[in-house]
């Protein structure tokens, strides 16, 4: 019998996990906070809804990708951040624990203040905006309410069909020959969304409870990332300008260096990580189609 998996939150990452799980032979059910033909409706702030869904599906594994990530909006809408990023994970963890279900909860590299970089699981987070604080509080709720869990901190890139992520912004700018400002002082260590999905699915069956950082292990500035993409795609690079992240009084503060060490992950996970150039080669057809 295929293992039954519930993926909560079919956004960019959740949808990628869903399709990778299908390829691996899981019996997968997905949920969303919007009513669609592809997924079940689920409002994670409503404990009774989660209980009903889990009682109906009876999954062996749950992956929670649901979150509010609109950083500037959440900075002045604390209650919404709490409902989705704190109360939601609490409800999911509690009900998974009651039913002896393995839970993988997706958090973020933004829980760190960005002053150091190359953060390990032993480093203590210090979030600097409402979004990050709510995600960190959500981690605590998982820890308090679940005995069989893994919390994944990460950052990722890829071609999103909705077109509203960092990599899509790069492609859109290259497509229109628009000027791009790449921050030299904003550093991260992202994974491509397909590799991250495979790693998260692998964690389901790894004998590990606690927090784990999934990253490329190779810190890179946003500027250098953009330049590498443009050069790999043989695009004009003179429009790519260096810049620095200045504080905007109308926006939430953002950490500058959220790169994550992946030393623990390398000990536990077998999935190989392609570099950016290799990933672009593997996804060239999709990228070229997007650029047309």
Which pLDDT tens digit goes with each residue over 62-74? 999 999 999 999 9
pLDDT of 40 reads: 84
**% the chain with pLDDT above 70:** 97
Residue 36 pLDDT grade (very low, low, confident, very high; cuts 50, 70, 90): low
> 111: which DSSP letter?
G
| Residue 153, strand partner residues | 213
Of the given ranges (30-34, 124-128, 159-163, 236-240), which has the lowest mean pLDDT?
A: 159-163
**Span 252-263, average pLDDT:** 96
Which pLDDT tens digit goes with each residue over 228-253? 999 999 987 889 999 998 766 668 99
Q: Cα dihedral sign for 168, 170, 173, 175? A: negative
**Residue 106 near residue 154 (C-beta atoms within 8 A):** yes
In the predicted model, is pLDDT for residue 52 greater than 80?
yes
Helix or strand holding residue 232 (H, E): helix 222-232
Strand ranges, E, within 160-288: 180-183, 187-188, 191-192, 210-214, 220-221, 240-243
| Token duo for residue 8 | 């909560």
**Span 89-107, average pLDDT:** 98
Mean pLDDT of the chain: 94
In the predicted model, is pLDDT for residue 2 greater than 90?
no
Bigger pLDDT: 130 vs 292: 130
pLDDT of 249 reads: 66
pLDDT of 209 reads: 96
Question: What are the residue boundaries of the structural domains of the chain, listed by start?
Answer: 4-158+191-215+253-273
Q: Provide the whole-model pTM.
A: 0.95
Strand ranges, E, within the chain: 4-8, 27-32, 40-41, 61-64, 102-106, 149-154, 156-157, 180-183, 187-188, 191-192, 210-214, 220-221, 240-243
Q: Compute, in degrees rounded to 10, the torsion defined by CA atoms 263, 227, 198, 264.
A: 10
Listed in sequence order, the residues at least 6 apart from 260 whose beta carbon sits closer than 8 Å to its beta carbon are 109, 118, 119, 120, 153, 154, 155, 189, 213, 214, 215, 217
In the predicted model, is pLDDT for residue 39 greater than 80?
no
Which pLDDT tens digit goes with each residue over 138-181? 999 999 999 999 999 999 999 988 767 899 999 999 999 899 99
**% the chain with pLDDT above 90:** 87
Tell me which fold the domain 4-158+191-215+253-273 belongs to: Rossmann fold (3.40.50)
Query: How many angstroms from the chain centroid is the CA of residue 58?
Result: 25
Which pLDDT tens digit goes with each residue over 176-198? 989 999 999 999 999 999 999 99
């Amino acid at each position: 019998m295929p293992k039954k998996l519930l993926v909560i939150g079919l956004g960019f990452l959740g949808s990628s996990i869903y399709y990778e799980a299908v390829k691996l032979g899981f019996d997968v059910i997905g949920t969303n906070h919007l009513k669609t033909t592809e997924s079940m409706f689920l409002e994670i702030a409503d404990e009774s809804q989660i209980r009903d869904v889990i009682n109906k599906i009876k999954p062996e594994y749950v992956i929670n990708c649901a979150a509010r990530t609109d950083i500037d909006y959440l900075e002045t809408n604390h209650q919404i951040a709490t409902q989705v990023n704190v109360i939601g994970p609490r409800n999911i963890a509690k009900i998974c624990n009651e039913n002896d279900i393995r839970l993988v909860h997706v958090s973020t590299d933004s829980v760190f203040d960005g002053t150091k970089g190359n953060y390990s699981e032993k480093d203590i987070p210090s979030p600097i905006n409402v979004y990050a604080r709510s995600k960190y509080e959500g981690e605590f709720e998982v820890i308090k309410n679940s005995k069989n869990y893994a919390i994944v901190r990460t950052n990722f890139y890829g071609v999103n069909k909705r077109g509203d992520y960092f990599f899509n912004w790069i492609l859109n700018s290259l497509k229109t020959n628009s000027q791009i400002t790449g921050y030299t002082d904003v550093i991260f260590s992202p994974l491509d969304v397909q590799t991250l999905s495979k790693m998260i699915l692998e964690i389901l069956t790894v004998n590990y409870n606690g927090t784990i950082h999934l990253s490329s292990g190779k810190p890179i500035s946003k500027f250098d990332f953009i330049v590498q993409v443009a050069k790999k795609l043989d695009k004009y690079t003179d429009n790519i300008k260096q810049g620095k992240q200045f504080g905007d009084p109308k926006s939430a503060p953002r950490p500058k260096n959220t790169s994550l060490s992946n030393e623990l992950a390398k000990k536990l996970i077998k999935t190989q990580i392609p570099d950016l150039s290799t990933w672009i080669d593997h996804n060239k057809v999709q990228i070229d189609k997007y650029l047309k």
